[in-house]
Structure 1
């Protein structure tokens, strides 16, 4: 997957006249603003003006997000606005049949939610939310909810392990190779998206509490972490922290019982609770 992230760097003046340094990443620009983005519906605003820390530039992990995702740092450096077109950069049965990324997964046993449901089918793909630039890890936690709870590096939305008012048992038959489907609303993942992270340490995306989520393995050890909390989170270095430890989530390495899922190993992406509010 080709991850190209374009942002515009605007100097941020902190207390005592400090001026931030630009990122060394090629083709990375940082945009700052004091207003929410104009495209897409802001599904959740978790910023806390009274208890937020400021940063001088966006986290390096945002460079891994596809062109579908736009990330904006506020003028005061305390909040990040994240929005996506919702169009993933990988194949799926949910693209229209004449789309370059369409793949007929019905031969593998995938049964679409409805046959006339397509990515970009006019029901609204965009999603967005605002997070604290530095997650509020004070020990409080919050349960996940239905609909978008995060945005993946591919541009797709992340959902939890529930479908409607129940679990994924019946809906599992409609999930594509990436553990995603659409029907109706945004295309979204419930399971480990194999085109993004397939039993590895790749960055998967960011959740609406401002915490990044990675694959089942940890880059600091090269294997499955053994110290995860109830959310699948722990504190260690990642490939984006330049040797500094940081709290982040992993996809928990536990197979979900989903007999109707067409592919091997149904691994829930994130069930919660959130830790960064």
Structure 2
């Protein structure tokens, strides 16, 4: 398994005060007149990412996230000789998607703003990877294919709401290995906003003010002030599941390559 380390690269910007979550596109080197945010350290939420699978580095006012796509927890989708392999429970060998987790050899890279801002309009997530989870694997939306609802594929999902294909192991539903009806960090969506579990850390209850993407502005365990972030919506899907991200991006998304 490829090993990564969390990297915190300090950006030295003089004469600029740390200004919360806001950022500016002003890239001027004249910091005496610049109003841009001094992004001098990674957001503390990035410390939650598994450092064996994910590397995170601050590069100017951007964050570069690279993952080997492998999860840090058990699944029936590992090869049977892998130490993290377990027998299927909520799925079966007959229903499982083809391929094993360890068949994937490669990386995913996502570059987002260190201080993301909401866009003037939302945008569709589309198919494929839309975020990177703290475990190292990627996050997908609520579709199994173009215009194809996830309903018919639920039988192939493991106990973390994940399966393989078309490229690698990925999550569609609440991943109970690291977020089970709680406020834990799930990952980062490709517009730079973090995704948390169904509960709000600041209240300990389910948020009631979520927008159509499951987002709102509130304090988290990783912020001293209120900031926009997403939650797994507390809406039951097919009787017992919770979809990770059923909405549109509220920020400006970058491709995960």
Instruction: Name the structure where strand makes up a greater proportion of residues.
Output: 2
What TM-score, normalized to structure 1?
Answer: 0.78
How many residue pairs were aligned?
A: 233
- Compute the displacement of 1:187 (Å): 0.5
Quote the residue 2:58 is aligned against. Answer: 73
Which of 107, 110, 113 does residue 129 from structure 1 map onto? 110
Unaligned runs of 5+ residues in structure 2 are: 19-23, 28-35, 253-257
Give me the whole-angstrom Cα distance separating, in 1, the residues matched to 2:207 and 2:133.
21
- Compute the displacement of 1:109 (Å): 3.5
Give me the whole-angstrom Cα distance separating, in 2, the residues matched to 1:272 and 1:62.
23
- Compute the displacement of 1:183 (Å): 2.1
**CA deviation vs aligned residue, 1:101-138 (integer Å, no higher than 9, x gap):** 10111x54332112xx11121x4452121111111224
Quote the residue 2:251 is aligned against. Answer: 276
Quote the residue 2:68 is aligned against. Answer: 85
Matches within 5 A, 1:1-277: 6-16=5-15, 53-67=37-51, 68-74=53-59, 76=60, 78-105=61-88, 107-110=89-92, 111-114=95-98, 117-121=99-103, 123-165=104-146, 166-242=148-224, 244-257=225-238, 265-277=240-252
Give me the whole-angstrom Cα distance separating, in 1, the residues matched to 2:191 and 2:101.
26
- Compute the displacement of 1:19 (Å): 10
CA RMSD of aligned residues (A): 2.3
* Secondary structure of 2:151's aligned partner: coil
What TM-score, normalized to structure 2?
Answer: 0.84
- Compute the displacement of 1:164 (Å): 1.4
C-alpha contact (below 8 Å) 2:90/2:158 kept by paired residues: no
Unaligned runs of 5+ residues in structure 1 are: 21-47, 258-263
Give me the whole-angstrom Cα distance separating, in 2, the residues matched to 1:174 and 1:218.
30
- Compute the displacement of 1:10 (Å): 4.0
C-alpha contact (below 8 Å) 1:54/1:134 kept by paired residues: no
Give me the whole-angstrom Cα distance separating, in 1, the residues matched to 2:231 and 2:153.
23
